[in-house]
Each structure stands twice: as structure tokens, then as C-alpha cells.
């Protein structure tokens, strides 16, 4: 406390001392700078024709440099509300997470904000079912945004009329069952948070398909104030059995949760996840093979931080019944599996709670679907899935 006061006092001293002699010197430099900068801008324009000319950046004032990159309309609020034009950027993960954690403190938005659903594709490389997704998104521009995380060496090459065009984010290697999987998910969330209009964040993979049309999907998120994160307290070997007592006191055994990886969270929870520095180190150090962070980390930390906001079920259907007792991978569906009856069963074969009411609309997405499933899916989508 005393130290802080001393520091403040010292700053006050410097603040008072500054205007005397120093200010005159500073003003002199400023005027010199403006003059040189005007010349610099002239040279910079000429430099387009003669690229070998030196770049007089050193002499530009900060204001002149800023004026050059600003676009019309930048003086208004739009400067802070316009989403980044491309998903690519040059921020490190640390810089990205910091930037993404910015959040308004005032209630409401003083501009017309149409909330969007951010679809975060966590993929190895290509998206074999892209065509189905294109049809799902078509006509709903302005109410969704797309982010694609792949293996770092993969270069997505979608044409400019694709919804996936330039939506690849800076990515890193992901190892199955390792913390790097959660890192990729946080990277996706952080990139999506840079768009202030993104309100709901859905994690999907290259083998996921949408089960309903865009409007139904959108309204499902919009009309619920819960997030679809599966979070259960499983007493068994693969549940509480994976808890490590070293995680205490940040995570106690009775707080330990398990769930499937594929989630939907709202903006508030997305920020809670990317800003977390309390639980992250514990999972990184003590949830190692045998324990899979992508089945526990977000589920457990959100249960501790915001239990009332969780539906405790996922909105992504998957079939574990075909897997053997020790298999870590669920069933994959291909061409021969795709029938009207199968899709209907997936869409409405279960009952669950939605806003405290029973419903059969439990899943909005399903996995895992092989590339060979694309053709029959495109064929059945208009009559069975309601789009395409």
C-alpha cells in the first residue's frame, strides 16, 4: 500500500515537472515531425510508382500513421463493432487470449447488434461434408460466423463464394487426448470472441452434420438461457476415477465432472473459458493420459463457475453403442447407413429437458459421418432435415 502511494507520488512529480522546459523541446519535435510527415506522405504516394525509394516511416507522427490505415466510418462506434475481415491474424496465443477477454461492462448495446452463432470447426484438414454445411448456412448471412482450426500445415483452399473462404484461423498441432485439444478449442473460442456479435459458440468437427435448418438451430440457442455442455458426475472408473487429488483445492472430487467434448456455450461462458488461469494449470499438470482433458476441463470448471447456466447435456448426438467395451471411438456412419428412418431416429428418438419442458428435440448436430455419407445426406436434407 505504501509502495503504491510512493509510486503515485513520484508519477505526480514527473507529471508536474514535464510541462516546463521539456514541453518546449517536445513541441519543437512535434512541429518538425508534422512537417516531415507531410513530406513523408508525399514520398509514400510516389513510392507506389518507385518502390525502391526509402520508406520515411521513422518521421511519421503516430496520428499521421493512424490516419493512413483508417477507413471511412472509422470515427464512429463502428470502429469497435466491425468484425475482423479475415480469420487470420498474427497474434500469439497469449496475445489472442488477452485481446479476446475484453468485455463491455455497460448493460446492453448502443447499436443494432444481431447476435450470431459462431460455428467452430475443429478439423484435421479438409471438410468432406462442407457441401451440406454450405446449404445449411445459405441465406442466413449476418446470423452466423465460421472459424476453422486445422493441422497447422494444412492450407484450406475454398473458393471465394464458399462460406468457409478465409475462415481458417492460425492453428497448432492437436494431439488426441492431450491438453493441446483444449488449447485448440480455446483458440477457436478466442478467435470467435473477437467478433462482438457472436453470442453462441458451437464446437463441431469435420464429421458433424446439422440435423435441423438454420432458423430452428438459431432459435434453439436464442430461446434458452442455458448452454449445452454435457456435465455429469460419474462415480465410475472413467469418471471420478480420473480425478487426481493434486487438483485440490481448485477442484475437489465432488466438483469433478465428465462429458462429451462437443459443446455449445454462450458469450459469458466462452469468456470464462478463455480467461481461465485457475483451473488450466491443474488440468495441464494432473489430467494426463488415462485422464482426457477434453472430457473434463470445461465441464468441471463451468460447473464450478456457473452451474446454473448449464443444461448438463450436449446438443451433439453420437452413438457409442457400436463401440466395443474398451473402444475410445464412437460409431462412424457411411453411405449405407443414411436412410430417412435413421435420420428421424437421430432427430427425435430421445426425450430431454429444454427450458424445463420435455422435448424430443434434444440434438441439433450429429456425428460421426464418413465422406461417403455426403451424397445420400444431400439427397435427404430437403425432405428430412428441412434445408438444402
Distance (Å, whole) CA 204 – CA 130 = 12
Residues 124 to 163 in contact with ligand NAG, rule: CB under 6 A? 157, 159
- What is the closest distance, in whole angstroms, from the C-beta atom of residue 119 to ligand NAG in the complex? 17
Give how far Cα 53 sits from Cα of 41, 48, 50, 60, 62, Å.
Answer: 13, 9, 6, 16, 21
Which residue's CB is nearer to ligand NAG, number 233 or number 319? 233
Residue at shortest CB range from ligand NAG: 307
Of 73, 307, 349, 382, the residue at the interface with ligand NAG (CB under 6 A) is: 307
Of 171, 227, 312, 316, the residue at the interface with ligand NAG (CB under 6 A) is: 312
- What is the closest distance, in whole angstroms, from the C-beta atom of residue 251 to ligand NAG in the complex? 13
Residue 128, preceding peptide bond in cis (omega within 30° of 0): no
Which residue's CB is nearer to ligand NAG, number 59 or number 154? 154
Residues 184 to 243 in contact with ligand NAG, rule: CB under 6 A? 215, 225, 231
Give how far Cα 220 sits from Cα of 20, 27, 101, 114, 213, Å.
Answer: 63, 59, 26, 16, 11
Of 127, 310, 373, 384, the residue at the interface with ligand NAG (CB under 6 A) is: 310
| 166 CB neighbour count, 10 Å cutoff | 14
**Residue 260 contacts residue 229 (beta carbons within 8 Å):** no
**Residue 315 contacts residue 365 (beta carbons within 8 Å):** yes
* C-alpha radius of gyration, the chain, whole number: 26
Of 13, 355, 359, 383, the residue at the interface with ligand NAG (CB under 6 A) is: 355
Which residue's CB is nearer to ligand NAG, number 20 or number 358? 358
- 13 contributes a contact to ligand NAG by CB under 6 A: no
What is the torsional sign of CA 273, 279, 281, 287? negative
In 3D space, the residue among 301, 318, 304, 312 whose CA is nearest the CA of residue 356 turns out to be 312
- What is the closest distance, in whole angstroms, from the C-beta atom of residue 387 to ligand NAG in the complex? 8
Of 20, 52, 321, 358, the residue at the interface with ligand NAG (CB under 6 A) is: 358
- 357 contributes a contact to ligand NAG by CB under 6 A: yes
Residues 317 to 346 in contact with ligand NAG, rule: CB under 6 A? none
Which residues contribute to the site for ligand NAG (CB under 6 A)? 157, 159, 215, 225, 231, 303, 307-308, 310-312, 351, 355-358
Amino acid at each position: 500500500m505504501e509502495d503504491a502511494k510512493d509510486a503515485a507520488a513520484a508519477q505526480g512529480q514527473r507529471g508536474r515537472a514535464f510541462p516546463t522546459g521539456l514541453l518546449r523541446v517536445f513541441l519543437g519535435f512535434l512541429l518538425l515531425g508534422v512537417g516531415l510527415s507531410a513530406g513523408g506522405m508525399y514520398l509514400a504516394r510516389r513510392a507506389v510508382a518507385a518502390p525502391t525509394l526509402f520508406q520515411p516511416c521513422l518521421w511519421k507522427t503516430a496520428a499521421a500513421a493512424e490516419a493512413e490505415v483508417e477507413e471511412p466510418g472509422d470515427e464512429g462506434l463502428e470502429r469497435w463493432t466491425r468484425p475482423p475481415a479475415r480469420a487470420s491474424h498474427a497474434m500469439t496465443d497469449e496475445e489472442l487470449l488477452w485481446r479476446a477477454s475484453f468485455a463491455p461492462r455497460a448493460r446492453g448495446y448502443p447499436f443494432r447488434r444481431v447476435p450470431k452463432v459462431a460455428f467452430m470447426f475443429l478439423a484435421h484438414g479438409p471438410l468432406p461434408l462442407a457441401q451440406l454445411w454450405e446449404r445449411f448456412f445459405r441465406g442466413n448471412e449476418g446470423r452466423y460466423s465460421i472459424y476453422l482450426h486445422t493441422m497447422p500445415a494444412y492450407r484450406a483452399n475454398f473458393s471465394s463464394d464458399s462460406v468457409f473462404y478465409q475462415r481458417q484461423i492460425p492453428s497448432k498441432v492437436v494431439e488426441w487426448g492431450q491438453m493441446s485439444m483444449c488449447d485448440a478449442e480455446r483458440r477457436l473460442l478466442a478467435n470467435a470472441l473477437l467478433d462482438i456479435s457472436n453470442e453462441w459458440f458451437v464446437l463441431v468437427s469435420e464429421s458433424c452434420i446439422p440435423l435441423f435448418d438454420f432458423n430452428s438451430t438459431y432459435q434453439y440457442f436464442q430461446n434458452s438461457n442455458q448452454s449445452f455442455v454435457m456435465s455429469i458426475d460419474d462415480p465410475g472408473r472413467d469418471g471420478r476415477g480420473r480425478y487426481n487429488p493434486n487438483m485440490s483445492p481448485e477442484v475437489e472430487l465432488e466438483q469433478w465432472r465428465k462429458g462429451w467434448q462437443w459443446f455449445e456455450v454462450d458469450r459469458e461462458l466462452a469468456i470464462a473459458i478463455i480467461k481461465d488461469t485457475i483451473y488450466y494449470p491443474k488440468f495441464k499438470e494432473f489430467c494426463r493420459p488415462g485422464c482426457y482433458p477434453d472430457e473434463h476441463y470445461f465441464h468441471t470448471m463451468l460447473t464450478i463457475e456457473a452451474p446454473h447456466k448449464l443444461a448438463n447435456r450436449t446438443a451433439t448426438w453420437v452413438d457409442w453403442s457400436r463401440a466395443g467395451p474398451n473402444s475410445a471411438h464412437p460409431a462412424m456412419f457411411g453411405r449405407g447407413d443414411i436412410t430417412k428412418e435413421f435420420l428421424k431416429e437421430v432427430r427425435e428418438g430421445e426425450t430431454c429437458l429444454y427450458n424445463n419442458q420435455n422435448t424430443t428435440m434434444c440434438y441439433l448436430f450429429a456425428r460421426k459421418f464418413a465422406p461417403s455419407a455426403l451424397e445420400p445426406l444431400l439427397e435427404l436434407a430437403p425432405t428430412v432435415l428441412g434445408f438444402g
